[in-house]
Amino acid sequence: MRYVLESLPVTCAILVLMASVLRFGIATTHEGRIAIVWIGINSVMLMLAQASWWKSYLLDNNLIGTDWSNYVWTVFNTSVMCLYLYAMLVPFRKIKFDHETKS
């Protein structure tokens, strides 16, 4: 059961990464593209941190190897909080997609 719970964030990150690739093509504003690229980078960082933690702790039972993944987690968490701030500071009406501008 623990492995299933540990795989949920990675599964979500993969889905978010695929969705961000699809949405990037239809984003028409610079702000929208920045947010989408940032989301994609955060998804990759989450997958890196989770995979390195899995390898170090669950597979090798090596607590020293988890230090590197802890640093990645710290960078990931900071980046996510900065993304939230960016999303709050950029007015939502500025982020438009192609299907919104054609009507």
Per-residue model confidence (pLDDT) at position 83: 83
Report the Cα 18 to chain-centroid distance in Å: 11
Q: The pTM is what?
A: 0.67
Report the Cα 97 to chain-centroid distance in Å: 20
Report the alpha-carbon distance of residue 98 to residue 51 in Å, rounded. Answer: 35
Average confidence score pLDDT of the chain: 77
Helix (H) or strand (E) holding 9: helix 2-24
Higher pLDDT, 3 or 76: 76
The per-residue pLDDT for range 13-58, each reduced to its tens digit, is 888 888 888 888 887 778 788 888 888 898 898 888 888 777 777 7
Please provide the DSSP assignment of 32-100 as one string.
Answer: HHHHHHHHHHHHHHHHHHHHHHIIIIIIS--STTHHHHHHHHHHHHHHHHHHHHHHHHS-GGG--BHHH
